[in-house]
Structure formats: C-alpha cells, structure tokens
A and B are shown apart, each in its own frame.
Chain A
C-alpha cells in the first residue's frame, strides 16, 4: 500500500510536469493565460476505475462527453482518453478561438472546425502526458493523432476494457482559461504488463530498487 502511494505521487509529479509544458504551449498558441493541473493520479483495478469514472460522467459531464483518444503500442500497450463535459465545449472552444457565440451554446452539435480544435488540444495534452511518462521511464511509445468523438450517453464501459486491459490510471484535469474552469478527466487503460514495466522502472529510478 505504501508503495502504491509513493508510486501514485511520483506519477502525479511526472504528469504535472507534462501538463505544465502543455499549458505553456497552449498559452503561446492561443495567446491567453492557461492553467493545467492534475491534483492526483490513481492506480485502480478495472472495476474500481469504472466506478470512479462513472461518478465523473454522471456528476460533472452528466453523461455527455467529448473524447479525444489515442491507442498506443510498441513496448507499452494501451489507450488514453481525454474526456471533457460536452455541454461546456462550445464555450471552451470559443475561448480558445477568441470568438463569442451566444446561440446554441449548450448544444451537442459540433462542426469539423470544433473537432479539429479539440484534436489539436488533445494532441498537445496527451503528448505531454505520455511523452513525459515515456521519457521518465525510458520506454518508447508510438501512437497516431487522436480520434475525436462525442458520446451522448457515455459510461465507463466505453473507456475501460476488463478483458484485455486490467488496470486504469485515472486522473482529473483542471483546465483554466483566463479564470474559466473546465474539469476534464484522463483515463489510461493499460495492460498489466505495461503498467508493471512502468512501475518497475519508477521503483528503480526513484526508490533504487
């Protein structure tokens, strides 16, 4: 248990370094002050991961989410999903694009332009997280550009696969654009072997074991 806590703390530190760089890149691109923080990372088995994720989906996103996801393979195998509450996304995109649209702000209809905007943000955030992890443990990770989707009635089953993937790294992402906060979630669904590889490397690097 004590090992778990220290590993989760190390992962939290690592990912915060990553999202810090992502925030600085995004601030440069959209020319606005951006804050990105991950309060904590939790390593959960698939069943607990689903419970936690369903809480987020019901309480924050009310079931509808915009998802940016990539699958990765090579030495590490798994899938990363970056989730945002869909009803907040028009406002979020408008803030990024310096635009104002009063009409249909809460609608779940998105254009290709909206999808491309989220694709870029997803690419930057996921790159920062997986890149930092890959660098820290020195295991290469290969992936493509994120796929973007809007799920109207999402539940944890969409993101956590019990059969092939056994463990979940779950973290919440606080996105702050000039005072407007949007609560996202990141789910990394990994094979047990992949996560073992990462945790063993972390133990060696940080605890000397």
Chain B
C-alpha cells in the first residue's frame, strides 16, 4: 500500500507538499512543480517557508503549531492569500496532520482555483456592463417620457398627459363624490406680443405664464399647454368653494401685470374660465367646452372694462 501512495499523489491535480514538524519539505508532487515552477529536486530538504516566502508569516507558524498539537484541519482561502505560491495562480490551501511512525507530518494541499476567479471576474464585468446599460436605458426612458408627455417649450404637461390625468381625476371625483375643476386660460393679445417683441420673447413669455400657473396651483393639479396661447388646468379633489378660491386668488394676483422680459416692459393679462364636474358637465369634453365659454365671457368683460376705463 505504501508504495502505491506516491504514485497516486503524483497523479493528483492538486499541489501536494509533505513537511516535517520543523517545516522541512519531504515530498513535492509534479502538480506542485507546475504550480510553483520549482522542481522537487530543488526543494526537498529545504524549509517550506523559505521556498514559499508567502508562508513566512505569524499566521502560518501558529497554524502549524495548532495543527501539530490538536490535529484539526486548517484552511487558507485564495481570496485572503493572493500570492501563496506565485502571483499567476490563485490557490486554496488545506493543511492536515498525518501521523507517521509516531511522528507528526503535515500535508499541505494547494487547490488551484484560478479559473474560478477568472469566471467570477468575467461575470462581475458582465453584471457591471449590464447595470451600466440598464442605467443608460432608464435615462433614455425618462427622456422619451418627457418628450411624450411634456410640452417642449414650457415644460408643463402636453395634451397626452392631460388626457391621462383627466380620465383618472374624473373617475376619482365620481367615486368619491368630489368636484373636479377645469380651468381654461388664454393669454390675451399674445399675437400682438409676438408681433411687437418677436417670437423669441413671445416664447419666453409663454414659459413665464406656464411657471406662473404651476406656482399658483397645488402639487396634484395638472397644468397643460392646450394650444398656442391656451392652457388647461385640472383641479382635482375640490370639496368646497374655499378649495377653489385659494387657487383662484393666487392666480388673480398675477392675472394682470407688467412683466419685464428681454428688457421689454410687457403688459400680460390672462382670460380665465372655470367649469366644475358635475355641475357643468359629466365628461371632460363638456367641461372643456363650458370652461372655454366662461373664458370668452371673461375676455369680453375684461375688454368692456378696459374700454370703459379708456372712455372715462
């Protein structure tokens, strides 16, 4: 049996070293020669910590001491010990005590796990690339969503987003027995602003109106650019007149005012009409039509007031 063992150890695909209690190498198998690049004849009789300098550390000496005295196996991982044999190979090291003729010998098994490290590293690279691509995709989705649902010039909702929320808010009002307000806002004499100060300034004025409406409304209200100089505002969850009045008062303050844009002093005035579900209609179409009608009444009143002021 003893004569078979060296033959077996020579065939094993693990680096095998046998050492004495005082660390002298008594056996060094062919796989260990390949792992370390050191021939058996060069190392036999030498101290293992001199042949493999990575073992010249307190943790190794104390492991040897423990192994000799208690006999329980020791394990060193390739991850925590990067250059146990040489920098090109990652190896796990298992140490066991073998009693021969009443004396302790130590069996050191070096298991090559370099391929495992390479595979895991490749997988991590793939995961990292996928995660990067995923982030890019999410960014693009946000841009697409922005383009699909928001007005390019003013940044407020477009009609597609308005339609989405209009249906949702209408169902909510129906289910909860609340009112849904719909405000129709028109920028008076916007053509004149464009013709007088140029389209570039006109665009900026339109953006200011969008901001003014957004700042005057609540978090869940939806401000939408409906057409060239028209905006719609959805006001969900109106329970009392007071809920609406608070918003209306904030808009009223800014409804007629001078603004300075691109160095021009511009007179800005808004005509506003508002309709409510269910009193003015039960569909969004009804509510828009009614609010539009009220908005024209408001525009007419404002013009009459202006004429009266001028004739006085």
**A-to-B contact residues, CB < 8 Å:** 21, 25, 28-30, 93, 96-97, 101, 103-104, 111-114, 116-117, 119-120, 123, 127, 130-131, 134-135, 140-145
Contacts and interface: CB of A to CB of B under 8 A. Distances in A.
Interface stretch (B41-49, B74-82, B156-164, B194-202): B74-82
17 contacts: A21-B62, A25-B59, A30-B80, A103-B127, A113-B79, A116-B79, A117-B79, A117-B80, A120-B75, A120-B77, A120-B80, A127-B72, A127-B74, A131-B66, A131-B72, A135-B70, A140-B70
Contacts of B81: 29
Contacts of B63: 25
A119 B57 contact: no
B66 A119 contact: no
Contacts of A127: 66, 70, 72, 74
A114 B117 CA distance: 11
Interface size class of B (residues with CB under 8 A): 20 to 34
Interface string B75-114: 1111111000000000010100000000000000000010
Contact of B120 (A29, A113, A120): A113
B66 A28 contact: no
Given A127-B70, A142-B72, 11 more contacts: A25-B62, A28-B58, A96-B80, A111-B120, A117-B79, A119-B77, A120-B75, A120-B76, A123-B73, A131-B70, A131-B72
B70 A117 contact: no
A171 B78 CA distance: 30
A144 B79 contact: no
Contact of A142 (B58, B71, B79, B94): B71
Contacts of A28: 57-59
**Nearest 4 pairs of A and B residues by beta carbon:** A116-B77, A120-B77, A28-B59, A123-B75
Which of B66, B75, B128, B131 has the largest number of chain A CB atoms within 10 A?
B75
B240 interface: no
Nearest to A30: B80
A78 B229 CA distance: 83
A134 B22 CA distance: 24
A30 B59 CA distance: 10
B116 interface: yes
A53 to B, nearest CB: 25
B79 A97 contact: yes
Contacts of A130: 72
Interface string B119-155: 0100010011001000000000000000000000000
Contacts of A140: 70
A129 to B, nearest CB: 12
A116 B78 contact: yes
Given A131-B66, A131-B72, A142-B71, A113 B127 contact: no
Nearest to A134: B70
A142 B97 CA distance: 12
A114 B78 CA distance: 10
A113 B78 contact: yes
A145 B73 contact: yes
A152 B79 CA distance: 25
Most chain B CB neighbours (cut-off 10 Å) among A29, A101, A134, A143:
A29
Given A29-B59, A29-B80, A30-B80, A119 B75 contact: yes
Contacts of A25: 58-59, 62-63
Contacts of B73: 123, 144-145
Contacts of B58: 25, 28
Contacts of A141: 70, 72
B72 A143 contact: yes
A111 B119 CA distance: 10
A175 to B, nearest CB: 15
A21 B66 CA distance: 12
A117 B63 CA distance: 17
Contacts of A21: 62
Contacts of A144: 73
A103 B131 contact: yes
A21 B61 CA distance: 13
A97 B77 CA distance: 11
Nearest to B94: A145
Contacts of B124: 101
Contacts of A29: 57, 59, 76, 80-81
Contact of A117 (B59, B72, B77): B77
A119 B74 CA distance: 10
B201 to A, nearest CB: 47
Contacts of B72: 127, 130-131, 141-143
Given A25-B59, A127-B66, A112 B116 contact: yes
A103 B134 CA distance: 13
